[in-house]
Structure 1
Amino acid sequence: MSKLVICEKPSVAQSIGKVLGASKRCDGYLEGGGYIVSWCVGHLVELAQPEAYGETYAKWRLEDLPILPEKWRYQVSPSTKKQFQILKGLMGREDVASIVEATDAGREGELIFRLVYHQCKCKKPFERLWISSMEDAAIREGFARLRPGTEYDALYEAALCRERADWIVGINATRLFSCKYGPTLNVGRVMTPTLAMVCGREAAISGFQSEPFYTVQLVPEGFAANGERMKEKTEAEKVAEECRRAGTATVVKSERKDRTEKPPALYDLTSLQRDANRQLGYTAQQTLDYTQSLYEKKLVTYPRTDSRYLTEDMAGMLPGLVEMVQKKRDISPDAPVPVNAAQVINGKKVSDHHAIIPTKTLESADLAALPSGELAVLDLIALRLVCAVGDPCRYSETTVTLECAGHQFKSKGKTVADPGWRAYVSAADGEKDGDDAPPIPALSENAELPLARVELKEGKTTPPKRFTEDTLLQSMETAGAEEMPEDVERKGIGTPATRAAIIEKLVQKGFVERKGDKKAKALVPTDKGRALAAVVPEQIQSPSMTAEWEEKLLGIEKGGYAPDDFMREIAGMVTDLVKNYETVKGVEIKMPGNSKVIGSCPHCGADVAERDKGWFCTHRVPTKSSDFVGEGGATERSGCSPQGGRSGVEFVTTQCRFVLWKDNAYFKKIGKHLTAGMAEKLVKEGRIKLKDCKSQRTGKTYNADVLLTTEEDGRAKFQMEFDNSGKKSGGKKN
């Protein structure tokens, strides 16, 4: 008899299959050693579209809302139907006695497996593999302590509630606002509150009125001291002149305090994404993708974690791991780190997975073969481990108060006695304080100090800064915290695993754009985004309400909150929204009629223009509901009138079917995201050169050219030409 192991991705299946001895390659699975190892390739089973609940829902009409399924229906994703059938066949094999659920150890991984298991109507017992590392030893240990699948029923219930709540809010709110205002307006349970935060920050910036202020600065020998801010320049000039005439200042107070700065905590996903955005300019999604790849290569532990600590049983391995990481990544290799394990050990603060750290596999890995992005993220994780167990930074802080001509002036200075963990951090890492003050010479009280000069400084109050992904992630993580009890386990909106995707959706849907020439680009709402925020009521865009929902989902995971109560709350909110929402007058939401043209259609020669979902030949724009899917599965249309019929914006459909989808399956399979620049080059030149493509089968990276041609009906077709040979892969349809 055999055990069937179901993983989430082929690369993970290969790693597990190697450990289990399942080395025989078959169509869609590996076999050997008493095991069959297969994979899901993401979400094989997904919630059905509204029309599956009745033909009337194929059209977008206000009178059909709200759509609240009594019995939920699921469908097999057309693009992964073959792999689903393989899994169904494997589950039905007579020699398969039981199943091991080896999808990612988290909420979404649980959902992916369970939906396939139930869709196949499988009744065989299954056990759960729960690991935080893809190292061989961790896999062996995980299989030695498999847990009954029923222990994770509550996690599955939470995942179901999250998926169905997103569907209910996404479908109903998207149709409601699209029918009310014309163009497609995607609304999401988490996406819309995040947009509201970005729009709120932009409104604060736009409404800010800068005001001048003035300060007087005294400069004795070796340091400077500043007076209080003054609104009137004449007042500041008077103070400056009085001080110049005095010529000296008296030391009223000189106080020195010894202080320590604790090392930073280890990384969870959000803190890693924030640092990678600020220091490297990576988006949250890029950082997640790089870290996930490092995890699959066994170089770091599980990335989708919200913990910044390790468990007590890991304390013994820390000294050896830290020493290895120090030498491997050349982090002050000649000065061994004093490993203060207690600083990073706290099992009570570890939920599903511990903090992200490098693994022992790093020691023997050929890091020269890593893509530059993965190596940069790996170095952040390595440096953070070394810093986190280091000694505190010890310094003395001196505060001096001077008096001159009856006015007081203050200065602060800092002298580092022992840099501790900061010795491992260079200025390039962006970890040093930007406000470090130079040391102040030793001063005695009542001493008279000659003034080298007296200066009048002019400044202006500045508006709040625009969000970057670093600061937006922070705001998402803490949203609603002031309105929630202090002892709640998870505050904020979204989870570490979903926040990156939410930001990407806002950009892809055209509600937010990235601007600026700095590494960490600013996130700025578009006209469409501001208009949506203006018409969506508080109950949908409230970060505190969404944070409360996230806390309740966690309560469902822990078995402390009833799933039915959560779903009733979501359904009640959506029903109230549909029944009581009143159209906001005077808000104009423009259709993307002036979309950017990126070139001529390679099939028919017409313009290819950008839309929400991709770059379309202007002689063909989709009208099928399956062509557009929004957050939570919300089907998108060109727009509806308030009466429920189609608006004046009609899409014309001709024979040309050329389109480059932004969420492009071909490019996703090779580990890439189709950007506007790539699409334009493909259309204009018929080919693009790509570096660090990733093989789904082997996990290895390679460089190649992607060539664009078309089918007879205009559909895009891709071929791959490799750098090291003239071979081309088989053509793939878009």
Structure 2
Amino acid sequence: MKFILAEKPSVAKNIADALYIKQRQDGFFEGNGYIISWAFGHLLQLYDAKDYDPKMTKWQMENFPFMPEHFRYKVKMDAKKRGKEDAGARKQLQIIQRLINRSDVQMIISACDFDREGQIIGDSIIYQLNRQKPVYRLLLNEWTADEVRKGLATIKPNSELKPLQDAGVSRQWADWLIGINLTSVATLKYQQGTGKALNIGRVLLPTLKIIYDRDQEIERFVPEDYFKLAAQFSTEDGRAYEGIYYENKVDRFKNREDLERIEQALDQQQAMIVDKKVERKKEYPPMLFNLSNLQGFITSKYKGWTSDKVLKVAQTLYEKKYITYPRTASVVLEESLVEKTANVLERLKAGLPYEHEIQFTKNKRIFDNAKVESHSAIIPTYVLPKSLATDEAIVYQAIKNRFMMQFMPVAEYEETRITTKVQEIPGIFATKGRVQLVEGWKKVEAIASTDIILPLVHVNEPVHITEHQITKHVTTPPKRHSEKTLLRVMETCGKGVDDPDTMAAILSGYSIGTPATRAETIKKLLTVGYITMDNKSLVCTELGRNLVETFPVKDLFDLEFTGRLEKTLADIEKRRYSKEQFLQFICQFTVQAVETIKSSEDVTLNKVTHTKKKFEAVGKCPLCSHQVIEGHKGFGCSNWKNGCQFVIWKNDKFLAALKKKPTKTMVKALLTKGTVLVKGLTSKKGQKFDAYLQYTKNADNDYFSWQMHFPDKNQ
């Protein structure tokens, strides 16, 4: 018997389906020689500082820096019940332990995601519960049935993944050391009031600095006027075109007087076409999506989307077997995927209006092992979705379209450049036209091309000056960062998009964070109040600015420093650097940083004030008859201190799946009538409907579940 541990229940179900196992039991599947169980992401978490030493329960400056001799793990804590274990995680760990220790289980296979986090999720659970049985690794880029069966036939000893485990553990322990020590000491040093921490993080601060720097550029920007001169020309037979005046390859002039002298000299002058160039040019489609590009594309195109939301939806599509692994930095495919890609293309193109134009081709722009790091670009799988929720359809269609574009004809256009010279004038007038000749891949997303059609003219042809005008313009400041532009800077560690070293830097791991963590970093900056969002623009708050300008550990704001740390983690994966060396450096850095903060000037960056919130009662608790009141995160029983657990969370997953949040009116109706009619619920297919909802206590415990029934249309 072989035991498989998946990262999530949905993945376990995919594996069970591939192995034709239908029997599901409490916490696992079993059949055909396999037992398949699952985690819920991380079931274990690192000890808190107070778990190592009771004196760390209260933050006191003299207790820092705090360095555990050995890092230890415990059952993850319940996010909704402060200070208590997650009961579901504890139960699932017990199930896994019982299954692993069964006498008929000969080997353990970790089927967690093939990345740093997936490796430590699996390893932390398996090695915590098992010390004897051999452990193997299932490494997949998609969860389709064919790939699962092929992968199980080629599993590797988990020992071969030790470098990946070392990199994951190094990242996890380093972030704990920096986060726990510097957050604690910075909060004690720079904040007045309690109940909130001044968050300090290895990836958080350099990302904040990127936004701060752009804000400063905008604040320091001084607008300047500039002027341009345009002239209208006409051929002998009346065909017209416009030219912009250039002198020494410059078309912007600070002094209007300079252009006015040129403009006056145009009167009564002859002009002649002195040069004409016509070139046929090719436009290649944008590269396949990696996670950062997908997030940037969706967040810039659709209102209300964040990079964190894009990742969550893409992860759902991956777990449903519709797309390949989304947390990738690559924009090309491994060359071993040629045959598979051709088969996927044949399935996807069937029935499209431009189907005959889609032709599979193998070229380095699509398939290139040298430009793939761990995972290939995101593409659809051969599993075609029968129905998708609205959000899923947006992300899936973007991935599908980008994939199709690679195999459509290259778009082509004709560019014409005309140079017109006026006697006695030092500069020239330049004119550029463009005509789309082949639409090609642009058909996929109906990308419109703006044609500028010029008259047919010839070199040495005389033309008349019919009109001329000087126009005034004002320089504009750089735009504020959006999630799209911020993700790009994080991905390239501040290098320009056209920098020849950019791709080499990305592939070597020289970046801020990883594709899997960047969205969470932006979300946390918003949550802790260091930045705010203005429409789609990201802006530093006063607290964020104060932190950048005052916090004395400047290395943590330095993109180069953070990039080198991320590069070192990538080098650990490749066996070029050791975990021990990295953690030694992190420990030294943390100790020095703590001393720097302690010896810095006493200033207040943040003042935490508390105003007592008046809670409005919305009804009686169905468990204990005390008042139910509205809190920040939910509608809960006021008797919670005595153990009553009744609550309706504002982020309730059942309601969220229906695109609804509980309102005060809804909860009042539930508590008084036991049922409420909710209008405008959204199905998985994106269709609106109305339904009666009840929040009913389970028979065997104090938890509640939602029940739904529909209005009688005959009434």
After TM superposition, the score normalised by the length of structure 1 is: 0.81
The 10-residue stretch of structure 1 (591-600 or 212-221) with the greater mean CA deviation from structure 2 = 591-600
The 10-residue stretch of structure 1 (182-191 or 447-456) with the greater mean CA deviation from structure 2 = 447-456
- 1:338 maps to which residue? 359
Deviation at 1:584, TM superposition (A): 5.2
Identity %: 30
Asked whether the equivalents of residues 330 and 376 of structure 2 are also in contact (C-alpha less than 8 Å), the reply is yes
> In the alignment, which of 589, 612, 615 is matched to residue 573 of structure 1?
589
**CA gap 1:54/1:90 in 2 versus in 1, 3 angstroms:** same
- 1:635 maps to which residue? none
- 2:283 maps to which residue? 261
> In the alignment, which of 606, 623, 628 is matched to residue 589 of structure 1?
606
- 1:76 maps to which residue? 75
Is residue 393 of structure 1 aligned with residue 392 of structure 2?
Answer: no
List per-residue Cα deviations over 1:348-390 (Å, max 9, x = no partner).
322322221111111xx31xx3101111111111111111133
- 2:556 maps to which residue? 540
Distance 1:252 1:168 in 2: 69
Distance 2:393 2:420 in 1: 50
Q: Superposition pairs for residues 373-522 of structure 1, below 5 Å?
A: 373-404=391-422, 406=425, 407-427=427-447, 438-481=452-495, 487-488=504-505, 489-516=508-535, 521-522=536-537
The 10-residue stretch of structure 1 (210-219 or 579-588) with the greater mean CA deviation from structure 2 = 579-588
Asked whether the equivalents of residues 436 and 451 of structure 2 are also in contact (C-alpha less than 8 Å), the reply is no
Distance 2:549 2:491 in 1: 24
Distance 2:564 2:189 in 1: 28
> In the alignment, which of 284, 288, 293 is matched to residue 311 of structure 2?
288
Distance 1:723 1:583 in 2: 63
Deviation at 1:566, TM superposition (A): 0.8
Asked whether the equivalents of residues 679 and 689 of structure 2 are also in contact (C-alpha less than 8 Å), the reply is no
Q: Superposition pairs for residues 653-668 of structure 1, below 5 Å?
A: 666-667=652-653
Matched pairs, number: 661
Is residue 563 of structure 1 aligned with residue 584 of structure 2?
Answer: no
- 1:139 maps to which residue? 148
Asked whether the equivalents of residues 628 and 635 of structure 2 are also in contact (C-alpha less than 8 Å), the reply is no
Distance 1:570 1:693 in 2: 49
Task: Report the AA paired with residue 114 of structure 1.
Answer: D
Task: Report the AA paired with residue 367 of structure 2.
Answer: I
Deviation at 1:290, TM superposition (A): 1.4
Q: Superposition pairs for residues 169-188 of structure 1, below 5 Å?
A: 169-182=178-191, 184-188=197-201
Deviation at 1:58, TM superposition (A): 0.8
Deviation at 1:592, TM superposition (A): 5.8
List per-residue Cα deviations over 1:516-573 (Å, max 9, x = no partner).
2xxxx11222222222222333211212211111111111111110111111111111
**CA gap 1:592/1:496 in 2 versus in 1, 3 angstroms:** farther
- 1:628 maps to which residue? none
- 1:353 maps to which residue? 375
RMSD over aligned Cα, in angstroms?
A: 3.6
Deviation at 1:514, TM superposition (A): 2.1
Deviation at 1:598, TM superposition (A): 9.9
- 2:215 maps to which residue? 202
Distance 1:172 1:150 in 2: 32
Deviation at 1:275, TM superposition (A): 1.1
Distance 1:379 1:344 in 2: 19
Gaps of 5+ in 2: 77-84, 234-238, 246-250, 621-625, 671-675
List per-residue Cα deviations over 1:284-309 (Å, max 9, x = no partner).
11111111111122111111122222
Distance 1:569 1:158 in 2: 14
Deviation at 1:499, TM superposition (A): 1.0
Deviation at 1:460, TM superposition (A): 1.2
Deviation at 1:441, TM superposition (A): 2.8
**CA gap 1:234/1:723 in 2 versus in 1, 3 angstroms:** farther
Instruction: Provide the secondary structure at the position in 1 that maps to 2:59.
Output: coil
Query: Which of the two has higher C-alpha Rg?
Result: 2
Q: Superposition pairs for residues 627-706 of structure 1, below 5 Å?
A: 666-667=652-653
- 1:19 maps to which residue? 18
Distance 1:450 1:464 in 2: 39
Distance 1:341 1:252 in 2: 44
- 1:322 maps to which residue? 345
Is residue 214 of structure 1 aligned with residue 227 of structure 2?
Answer: yes
> In the alignment, which of 314, 319, 332 is matched to residue 309 of structure 1?
332
Distance 1:617 1:720 in 2: 16
Task: Report the AA paired with residue 59 of structure 1.
Answer: K
List per-residue Cα deviations over 1:467-509 (Å, max 9, x = no partner).
1111111010011548989855222111111111111111222
Asked whether the equivalents of residues 680 and 690 of structure 2 are also in contact (C-alpha less than 8 Å), the reply is yes
Asked whether the equivalents of residues 60 and 175 of structure 1 are also in contact (C-alpha less than 8 Å), the reply is yes
Instruction: Provide the secondary structure at the position in 1 that maps to 2:395.
Output: helix
- 1:729 maps to which residue? none
Asked whether the equivalents of residues 659 and 681 of structure 2 are also in contact (C-alpha less than 8 Å), the reply is no
Asked whether the equivalents of residues 46 and 76 of structure 1 are also in contact (C-alpha less than 8 Å), the reply is yes
Task: Report the AA paired with residue 290 of structure 1.
Answer: V
List per-residue Cα deviations over 1:44-95 (Å, max 9, x = no partner).
0110111011011111111111111111121012221111111111111111
Instruction: Provide the secondary structure at the position in 2 that maps to 1:186.
Output: coil
Gaps of 5+ in 1: 623-652, 695-700, 727-734
**CA gap 1:501/1:38 in 2 versus in 1, 3 angstroms:** same
- 1:278 maps to which residue? 300
Instruction: Provide the secondary structure at the position in 1 that maps to 2:543.
Output: helix
**CA gap 1:325/1:197 in 2 versus in 1, 3 angstroms:** same
Asked whether the equivalents of residues 627 and 638 of structure 2 are also in contact (C-alpha less than 8 Å), the reply is no
Task: Report the AA paired with residue 37 of structure 1.
Answer: I
After TM superposition, the score normalised by the length of structure 2 is: 0.83
Distance 2:414 2:502 in 1: 36
Distance 1:248 1:615 in 2: 78
**CA gap 1:467/1:390 in 2 versus in 1, 3 angstroms:** same
- 2:82 maps to which residue? none
Asked whether the equivalents of residues 15 and 148 of structure 2 are also in contact (C-alpha less than 8 Å), the reply is yes
> In the alignment, which of 88, 100, 107 is matched to residue 109 of structure 2?
100
Task: Report the AA paired with residue 23 of structure 1.
Answer: K
Asked whether the equivalents of residues 597 and 607 of structure 1 are also in contact (C-alpha less than 8 Å), the reply is no
Task: Report the AA paired with residue 386 of structure 1.
Answer: M
Instruction: Provide the secondary structure at the position in 1 that maps to 2:437.
Output: strand
Asked whether the equivalents of residues 323 and 336 of structure 1 are also in contact (C-alpha less than 8 Å), the reply is no
List per-residue Cα deviations over 1:571-628 (Å, max 9, x = no partner).
1111111112354566542436579999767678899675xxx5799999x9xxxxxx
Distance 1:597 1:402 in 2: 75
